[in-house]
Structure 1
Amino acid sequence: MIHINCVWIGGDKRVSTFCTKRFSENDIWLAREIKKKRKKFYFVRSKFEDDVENEIKKKKNKGKPKKDLESILKQKVYEDCKKNLEEFECEDNIFVIDSYEKGSYDFERFETHLIHDALNISDGKHLAITSCLTVMTISTINEMKNVLEKRIPKIALSAAFALRIKDTDVTILKEEMEFYKQQFNLDEISLRRDAEVSNITERLSEIEESMKHIEKESNEMEELNEIDNLIPFLPLINIRKTYKASKIWLQKALERITEKAVDVNLTMMEGLAHD
């Protein structure tokens, strides 16, 4: 018996839902309603490990390697979903995941799809979705970094053309850095929430201190000092130099935050594993 947990996450362009049951007519009805609204969707089969453990306990499977049973069950899920969702052409958006082992099965592929599609919709939608993710895989973090890098020329240009009033250009850059931290759940609120969920509250002070160190180093980078020291009444020179320095500063800031995101998420995975 294949139990289906599906996910329909609402969005401007893509939708998904969680339900703990076998594939039913209600699921087909919901998929059709989503299609009527011209939205795409994911179908996610969660708690897969439960079915694997149940299969291992059956006498007929005594002695069979766990990997073989996983492969057989996973294929059954795919076939069942493809058969029931054939009219929707969503084969690439069917995922099998385990609710506890974040590195297992299709979790990494699903998270990458989710983050990428959310970023393509809007910054607000992406922030709303990523704020719900306690742990991100390394490939997901790198995917997010690639997408955020595409913002750099636009933000650098905004800083270059900003009026030199109360360090407007520098403020634009620092606000973008804060945006990077939010996207990777490294802002103060997200860190505290995720640390509690991941059972690593004892490491929170250390992580927060490392984030302050990154911010301090970024504020002391020569590119930021160069922008601060530009002569206000030479606008053409300011624009060119500010744009160049801003791009370099944003790239370095993103690199440091990405590295920290990898470290923090690995720490959270360890915390979840010892839950």
Structure 2
Amino acid sequence: MDWFSEFTFFTEQEMKKLQTIYDQDGLSKFATRIVTKLDDMKNAELNIAVTGEAGAGKSTFINAMRGLRASDEGAAKTGVNETTMERTPYKHPDFPNVCFWDLPGVGSLEFPMEDYVSRMEFTTYDFFIIISNDRFTENDANVAKEIQNLGKKFYFVRSQIDNDIESLKKQGIVFDRKEKLAEIKQNISCGLTKAGISDPNIFLISSLSLNEFDFPQLKETLVNNLDRMKKDVLLMSLPSTTVKIVEQKRAQLMKRIWMVAIVSGAVGAVAVPGLTFVVNPGIIATVILDFRKSLSLDDASIESLANIANKSVEFLKAEVKTPLMGEVNDALVHQMFGRSSFFVEVVQSMLPVIGSIFGAVSSYRMTYTLLTDALDELVENAQRVVKVAFATDPGHPQ
């Protein structure tokens, strides 16, 4: 992956265009282009199709990806019978630009294969999850081929794998769990290969255990196979159930900081006609609140993590030790100014175009430093919550 992909939401070509805009049109046009990119990020949508036969576990999977239980408000209906008779959208409760579409099972009298692709509007989705709780059928393979013809990505998810493991234990069968899971995956792969699907992406999961089996690898794969903005949208919507997810979120959020700081520098250096995105203590507070939500540190997210981990909300909140979890207002931001490290040389050395333009602009430097310090503090707290929630910290009980 190139450097621009690692550090910015802009392609190398877009960064060169920014330099040209600055050289030819000045700071005003330059800052306006950054604001446009921020707006594009805010409005970016992600549509994920989840398909499979009745009882495969589609609804439970959709709920898990949105951090919900079946009993929660807005959860997808679950049941052994086909509860979905038309494609049904389920927006993420905190990130409404992320939408999971629960599609009816293919192959029934109501949804024959020849009509399925058009009726389910396959062209509108960013990628597909094909779910089964047993073996994948000919219908599943046919759906995959249709998706492949559209040039879109798809992933085979074998759900309820915990039931398979538990069943073997109850039968008194002695087995190595790692080897057994590899055997199940190999059998699935062979079946799909015979059906005409080469190198299928297969994940064995339990939608009731987000950190077990292949669920962490599935989430990581989905995120890494998306482009810059859609990658950001999906990653921020995922429950922060592992330290690695928190670290990935930090890397993504760092990409936003310099953009906000650039606009701050532009506003601090010159008057920008028509520019409404003005960085001030109120804007900084808003960004910090966005950080909290993205890192699963807002009240709703902590409650969801408590439900997933079977821990009390109070137990998790006790691990959050930062004033940034209280009211984030102008007074708090002014306190942050007082203890700022005012360190920005690293970002300038990594972004020569930006560094050369804003190296001497104090508003850019201060905004970057304040938001970086706030992000680091929130990440540290988010990691601590994850460790105690999922018992990865040996100092806390299971």
TM-score by length of 2: 0.52
Matches within 5 A, 1:118-133: 120-122=228-230, 125-126=233-234, 129-130=237-238, 133=239
Matches within 5 A, 1:42-191: 42-58=155-171, 61=173, 64=174, 66=175, 68-81=176-189, 83-84=191-192, 87-89=196-198, 91=200, 93-117=201-225, 120-122=228-230, 125-126=233-234, 129-130=237-238, 133=239, 135-162=240-267, 168-191=279-302
Contact 1:160 1:243 in 2 (8 A): yes
- The answer for the alignment partner of 2:365 in structure 1 is 244
- Identify if the C-alpha distance between structure 1 residues 166 and 89 changes in structure 2 by more than 3 Å, giving closer, same or farther: closer
- Identify if the C-alpha distance between structure 1 residues 176 and 202 changes in structure 2 by more than 3 Å, giving closer, same or farther: closer
Shift of 1:57: 3.5
Shift of 1:84: 0.7
Distance in 1, Cα, partners of 2:231 & 2:283: 16
Distance in 2, Cα, partners of 1:169 & 1:114: 36
One-letter code of the match for 2:255?
K
Contact 1:173 1:250 in 2 (8 A): yes
RMSD (Å), alpha carbons:
4.1
Instruction: Render the CA deviation track for 1:137-162: whole Å, top value 9, x for unaligned.
Output: 11121122122222222121122223
Distance in 1, Cα, partners of 2:371 & 2:154: 34
Distance in 2, Cα, partners of 1:136 & 1:196: 12
Distance in 2, Cα, partners of 1:172 & 1:35: 44
TM-score by length of 1: 0.71
One-letter code of the match for 2:192?
N
- Identify if the C-alpha distance between structure 1 residues 147 and 108 changes in structure 2 by more than 3 Å, giving closer, same or farther: same
Q: Which one is further off, 211-220 or 185-194?
A: 211-220
Secondary structure of 1:150's partner?
helix
Shift of 1:44: 2.1
- The answer for the alignment partner of 2:314 in structure 1 is 202
Distance in 1, Cα, partners of 2:225 & 2:282: 29
Is residue 335 of structure 2 the alignment partner of residue 220 of structure 1?
Answer: yes
Distance in 2, Cα, partners of 1:97 & 1:194: 19
Structure richer in helix, relative to its length:
1
Identical pairs, percent: 20
- Identify if the C-alpha distance between structure 1 residues 187 and 69 changes in structure 2 by more than 3 Å, giving closer, same or farther: closer
Shift of 1:241: 1.0
- Identify if the C-alpha distance between structure 1 residues 51 and 153 changes in structure 2 by more than 3 Å, giving closer, same or farther: same
Q: Which one is further off, 135-144 or 68-77?
A: 68-77
Distance in 1, Cα, partners of 2:378 & 2:256: 15
Secondary structure of 2:390's partner?
helix
| Runs of 5+ consecutive residues of structure 1 not aligned to the other structure | 228-235
| Runs of 5+ consecutive residues of structure 2 not aligned to the other structure | 1-54, 63-99, 102-123, 343-356, 392-396
Distance in 2, Cα, partners of 1:221 & 1:138: 26
Distance in 1, Cα, partners of 2:306 & 2:377: 20
Shift of 1:40: 0.6
